[in-house]
Amino acid sequence: MKQLQISYLIGYVTVQVKGMMPERFFQACVDQQLAIWNIEKTGQHTCIGSLRKKDIRTIKEMAQQTEYSLKIVEEKGLPYIFKNILKQNHLLIGLFIAIISLFLLSNIVWRVEISGFPKELEQKIMKTLKGYGVYPGALMFRVDSPSKIQQQLLHDLPELLWVGIEKKGTSFQLEGVEKIIVEKEKQISPQHLIAAKDGVIQKIFVSKGVSHVATYDYVKKGDLLVSGNLLDDADIDENEKKKDRLVAATGEVIAKTWYEVDVTIPLKGNDEQLTGKQTRKFYLNIFHVDIPIWNFSQVDYALEKKETVEHPLYFLNWRLPFTLVENVHSEKELLSWKRTKKTALDIGIEQAYQELRLLLGPKAKILSNKVLHEAIEHDKVILTLYVTVEENIAKPQPIIKKSEKD
Amino acid sequence: MKKIHQHLRQLLVNYFSLPSDAVMELPRITMLGDLHVYIENHQGIAIFKNDLLRLNIPNGFIQISGSSFKIKMMLPEELLLEGKIEHVSFLSKE
């Protein structure tokens, strides 16, 4: 019986042998070391018997050499079942569709879970994520890698102190800590305000401390502007002078300052510019071989910029050994330009202003400029500019016990 | 010559107590009621019909008769017969 079960797995056939004394034929088979079972005489000259699938060829050859005729009556076992399944096209197509849909479904973002945030922020994160293309129903290979999203999210939402994104199969799990912006009452130690730069004072706003300078005073770097010692005031009685009354001097001292800025502006040059024409091509990368699967058109841009993005593919939880590669070909063109000296000058000044703004921050106000020196060398305009700026020059300086006694 | 051989085998069986079926090339027949006959050490089928099976043995045939015979399994020197068995007889060649 056990043998029968194994036979079922590897497949067996029932054959009908026709000829004089058919049992002799089976005897010959058995002499050839073939296993035969269920032999039955069905007629005067016919006999049926079962044998393994792999022995069919041998028995056919033997039948050809003798005068017996062979006919396969029945095929049984798993191999034949598979064969029948393969013969049924609709079943195969169904299976194919099932695998394809399973594959597609495993490459779709099903859930985005956010934990550790209040409801309000959660909504905001959801919205931002949607902007990145991370939402339930999005295709997985259109989504950036978690670490990239993480960085972007931290950059776009300043309320987040930290956020961790984990991709678990078809769902994204977000965990994070909200940045609680606490207006910390800074316990400022007693301080003076001193000048950070040379300049002519324009306006003084003191909220704490005693002002030591007046408008239109010229101050040098390091000069005391606002004292933190309230007793520096000359109007106070002698008696009270003995006690220390130190505060943290705060305020703004707006002064005119001057800067010399050197800028170099080329008079001509070459630029690359994207024309906006774009072709996307998709490849299936299997073992480092790219097989094109979408957009077979030839890219015939004279100049192009190629960007390659690789998207890993998943089947259920397993990462497949091939990836979807997206190539974005963007057409670019070379622009060569020339500038007149005058435009170069304007650009130079604008560039100098920008440099200063970057250096001084948004509060500084640029008042005027003057070209000190101007030269043309190797198709470049070299400018030295003298710029007048209005800015806050107050800089805190902590009061050290000893110095205040002096 | 053959006689001497036969004698020698007989001696082997008697003195060394070896199993007689192996040494003497005799068929071993095992029966399970009247349902199964299991024959080892035969030399092939001579005749097989629904109601008769004749097997070659060194000096003759084994003939089994009955009804609705079916060979359940067949290996080079073994055979399992299924059916309703009525007679098992030995026929000598002459």
Q: Which residues of chain A are within 8 Å of residue B71 when distances are taken between CB atoms?
A: 26, 36-40, 49
Number of domains observed in the structure of chain A: 4
Q: Which residues of chain B are within 8 Å of residue A26 when distances are taken between CB atoms?
A: 45, 71, 74
Structure tokens, A294: 């979408």
Partner-chain contact B74 A41, CB within 8 Å: no
Give which of B48, B49, B77 to mutate to test A binding, by max A Cβ within 10 Å. Answer: B48
Interface A-B, measured as beta-carbon pairs within 8 A, has a size of 44
- Between CA B66 and CA A366 the distance in angstroms is 123
Q: Is residue A366 part of a domain?
A: no
To the nearest whole Å, the CA of B68 is away from the closest chain A CA by 9
Report the pLDDT averaged over residues A136-144.
79
Partner-chain contact A24 B45, CB within 8 Å: yes
Question: How many percent of chain A have pLDDT more than 90?
Answer: 4
Structure confidence by residue, pLDDT tens digits, A234-283: 555 555 555 567 777 888 888 888 888 888 888 888 888 888 888 888 88
pLDDT of residue A239: 55
- Between CA A154 and CA A159 the distance in angstroms is 8
Coil, strand or helix at A157: coil
A35 near B CB under 8 A: yes
Residue A57 pLDDT greater than 80, yes or no: yes
Residues A151 and A205 in one domain: no
Q: Is residue A388 part of a domain?
A: no
Question: How many percent of chain B have pLDDT more than 70?
Answer: 91
- Between CA A224 and CA A68 the distance in angstroms is 124
Partner-chain contact B71 A33, CB within 8 Å: no
Top pLDDT among B14 and A100 is at A100
Residues A31 and A78 in one domain: yes
CA dihedral A6, A12, A18, A22 (to 10 degrees): -10
Q: Is residue A205 part of a domain?
A: yes
Q: Residues A289-315, buried b or exposed e (16+ Cβ, 10 A)?
A: eeeeeeeeeeeebeebeeeeeebebbe
Considering CB atoms only, which of A23, A31, A35 is closest to B48? Answer: A23
Q: Which residues of chain A are within 8 Å of residue B44 when distances are taken between CB atoms?
A: 27, 30-31
Partner-chain contact A41 B76, CB within 8 Å: no
pLDDT of residue B69: 92
- Least confident range of A225-234, A358-367, B20-29, B74-83: A225-234
Residues A36, A8 contacting (CB under 8 angstroms):
no
Residues A164 and A199 in one domain: no
Count of Cβ atoms closer than 10 Å to residue A368 Cβ = 9
pLDDT of residue A4: 62
Top pLDDT among A235 and B80 is at B80
Measured N-to-C along each axis, helices A146-156 and A119-132 cross at an angle, to the nearest 10 degrees, of: 120
Considering CB atoms only, which of A3, A31, A39 is closest to B71? Answer: A39
Q: Which of A137-141, A207-211, A257-261, A312-316 has the highest mean pLDDT?
A: A257-261
Q: Is residue A397 part of a domain?
A: no
Partner-chain contact B44 A21, CB within 8 Å: no
Residue A232 pLDDT greater than 70, yes or no: no
If we measure between CA atoms, which residue out of A133, A130, A135, A153 comes closest to residue A143?
A133
Question: How many percent of chain A have pLDDT more than 70?
Answer: 92
To the nearest whole Å, the CA of B21 is away from the closest chain A CA by 21
pLDDT of residue A187: 67
Report the pLDDT averaged over residues B58-77.
89
Q: Would you list the domain boundaries of chain B?
A: 26-92
Residues A328 and A305 in one domain: yes
A17 near B CB under 8 A: no
Top pLDDT among B68 and A230 is at B68
- Between CA A325 and CA A314 the distance in angstroms is 14
Report the pLDDT averaged over residues A146-162.
83
Q: Look over chain A and give the mean of its residue pLDDT values, rounded to a whole number.
A: 82
Structure tokens, A160: 């987040």
- Least confident range of A218-222, A265-269, A325-329, B2-6: B2-6
Report the pLDDT averaged over residues A301-325.
80
Considering CB atoms only, which of A26, A31, A38 is closest to B72? Answer: A38
* Chain B positions with Cβ closer than 8 Å to A: 44-45, 47-50, 69-76
Partner-chain contact B70 A35, CB within 8 Å: no
Structure confidence by residue, pLDDT tens digits, A196-211: 888 888 888 888 778 8
Structure tokens, A280: 């996307």
Considering CB atoms only, which of B50, B69, B76 is closest to A31? Answer: B76
In whole angstroms, how large is the CA radius of gyration of chain B? 15
Searching chain A, which residue's CA lies closest to the CA of residue B80? A37
**How would residue A107 be classed by pLDDT, with cut points 50, 70 and 90?**
confident
Q: Which residues of chain A are within 8 Å of residue B72 when distances are taken between CB atoms?
A: 37-38
**How would residue A404 be classed by pLDDT, with cut points 50, 70 and 90?**
very low
If we measure between CA atoms, which residue out of A136, A255, A248 comes closest to residue A190?
A248
Count of Cβ atoms closer than 10 Å to residue A25 Cβ = 24
Report the pLDDT averaged over residues A365-384.
84
DSSP assigned state of A294: E
- Between CA A46 and CA A15 the distance in angstroms is 10
Query: What is the Cα A181 distance to its own chain's centre?
Result: 28
- Between CA A286 and CA A323 the distance in angstroms is 7
If we measure between CA atoms, which residue out of A153, A142, A147 comes closest to residue A109?
A142
Q: Is residue A87 part of a domain?
A: no
Q: Is A294 left (phi over 0), alpha (psi -120 to 50) or beta?
A: beta
pLDDT of residue A237: 56
- Select from A321, A337, A353 the last residue of a domain: A337
pLDDT of residue A403: 47
Question: Domain B26-92's class?
Answer: mainly beta
To the nearest whole Å, the CA of B39 is away from the closest chain A CA by 14
Backbone torsions φ then ψ of A34, nearest 5 degrees = -95, 140
Considering CB atoms only, which of B47, B48, B75 is closest to A30? Answer: B75
Partner-chain contact B48 A30, CB within 8 Å: no
To the nearest whole Å, the CA of A80 is away from the closest chain B CA by 22
DSSP assigned state of B3: H
Q: Is residue A57 part of a domain?
A: yes
Residues A13, A83 contacting (CB under 8 angstroms):
no
Residue A406 pLDDT greater than 50, yes or no: no
Report the pLDDT averaged over residues A21-47.
88
Residues A9 and A68 in one domain: yes
- Select from A216, A231, A255 the last residue of a domain: A255
Beta strands in A77-127 (DSSP E): 111-115
Query: What's the domain range around A291?
Result: 269-337
A49 near B CB under 8 A: yes
- Select from A310, A337, A364 the last residue of a domain: A337
Residues A200 and A242 in one domain: yes
- Least confident range of A3-17, A90-104, B5-19, B30-44: B5-19
Structure confidence by residue, pLDDT tens digits, B5-33: 778 877 777 777 777 666 677 888 999 99
A31: burial class by Cβ within 10 Å (0-12, 13-18, 19+)? exposed
Searching chain A, which residue's CA lies closest to the CA of residue B70? A40
**How would residue A303 be classed by pLDDT, with cut points 50, 70 and 90?**
confident
Considering CB atoms only, which of A24, A30, A39 is closest to B70? Answer: A39
Give which of A33, A39, A50 to mutate to test B binding, by max B Cβ within 10 Å. Answer: A39
Partner-chain contact B48 A41, CB within 8 Å: yes
